[in-house]
Amino acid sequence: MSIILIVDDDPDITELFQIFLTNDGHTTTTAASGRICLDKLQTLHPDVILLDIMMEFMDGWATLANIKNNPKTESIPVIMVTGKPLEERDCERYGNLFYDYLMKPIRRTQLCEAVRGALTRR
């Protein structure tokens, strides 16, 4: 059974993602911020991370950089989640650090397929 870490500051989004992924056979855990995510990763090693880009204090890009700069977590596939199209500069700077990205609103099938793809790649 795979463990998926959902990082988003919107509790409605995390709850919806948990329902989708649990129904698809995964175990989920959540973090409401980038800082909480990094704290959890000190003891948890999820199979995939779903990471929102637009969060307060530490955005998804800063969180992603921290994840990929840590030898203990650098191999975890990260799927970026965003409410707006990725900007070219972000793709150039971070494109090689994440597995995929999804635009909100996200359908259940879209989310589950992206997670399955990341698990297969891993």
Confidence of residue 86 (pLDDT cuts 50, 70, 90): confident
Q: How far apart are the first and last CA of the chain?
A: 14
Report how far residue 49's alpha carbon sits from residue 89's, in angstroms, rounded to the nearest whole number.
22
Q: Is 87:104 a contact under the CB 8 Å cutoff? A: no
> pLDDT for 58-84, tens place per residue?
999 999 999 999 999 999 999 999 988
Tokens 């793709």, residue? Answer: 91
Q: Is a pLDDT exceeding 80 seen at residue 46?
A: yes
pTM for the full predicted model: 0.95
What three-state secondary structure class fits 37?
Answer: helix
Q: Considering only the top CATH level, what class is 3-115?
A: alpha beta
Q: What is the pLDDT of residue 94?
A: 84
Domain range summary for the chain, segments of one domain joined by +: 3-115
- Burial category of 120 from C-beta neighbours within 10 Å (exposed 0-12, middle 13-18, buried 19 and up): exposed
Closest CA to 93 of 58, 119, 68: 68
